[in-house]
Copies of this chain bind each other. A is one copy, B any other.
Amino acid sequence: MNTSDESAAFRPLYQQIKEMIVARITSGEWSAGKSLPSEAEFARHYNVSPGTVRKAVGEMVAENLVERFRGRGTFVKSQTDEREHSHFFHVVGQEGKKILPATRGLTCARRKCDPETARRLDVPTGSRLLVAERLRLIQGVPIIFEIIMVSEDRFPGLCDILSEEMPNEMYPLYEELFGIRVIRAEEHLSAVAADEREAEALDVPLGSPLLEIDRIATTFDGDPVELRLSHCNTRNHHYLNVLY
């Protein structure tokens, strides 16, 4: 059954099946939370063995794209899932317990994209950029000063929405309103000194050490979606990372 059109097609069947299904998911054929066709149906449709479909779907499960339940079916995972809410949030309290912070919006402005930001977001220099600043509070105490940058061309009208009310979680918003799912993120962490504005906002002395999290969030395809710069007061909290 292997059609070797160009010499490039020597890839395992299950990977090709997987990519076709992934493409159909990202195209919106099955939206988040909806059930996919059964593995048997896929097998019939693609004219392969059930085991091959199973392996394809298995990889998608491993990549957090779908979820399987015995007796029920396979479902497209959503960023809005309870489990996923804090998937990208690694700041925890002293005991290692993750507490989702509240959010206070500060500003939301438009500006032209500088070359460096343009490069990182993969948009033209000078294109419209949306810059939102917000404060994240844990038990009422401001802990994180955050700057969020997205291309306004990718998120038309987002500025108005944010100006009205700054949501706590951005990624579910991107998914629900614009159909853009954040799947991966790359974070660059470093230590910086609090500037005047941050010192006031976070109620720390000027020059206090803050943990900087410079994050670029991307879709499944690796397209950059959002740049986010977080400055955290790690006096009573820290960033947890588990390696294995």
Contacts and interface: CB of A to CB of B under 8 A. Distances in A.
A182 B237 CA distance: 26
Contacts of A207: 207
A93 to B, nearest CB: 11
A240 interface: yes
Given A186-B242, A210-B209, A243-B185, A234 B191 contact: yes
Contacts of A63: 244
B234 A186 contact: no
Contact of A189 (B64, B241, B244): B241
A68 interface: no
Contact of A186 (B64, B214, B237, B240): B240
Contacts of A239: 188-190
Q: How many monomers of this chain does the complex have?
A: 2
A187 interface: yes
A92 to B, nearest CB: 8
27 contacts: A87-B243, A88-B243, A183-B244, A184-B242, A184-B243, A184-B244, A185-B243, A185-B244, A186-B242, A186-B243, A187-B241, A187-B242, A188-B239, A188-B241, A189-B211, A189-B234, A189-B241, A190-B239, A191-B209, A191-B232, A191-B234, A192-B209, A192-B234, A207-B207, A209-B209, A211-B211, A241-B241
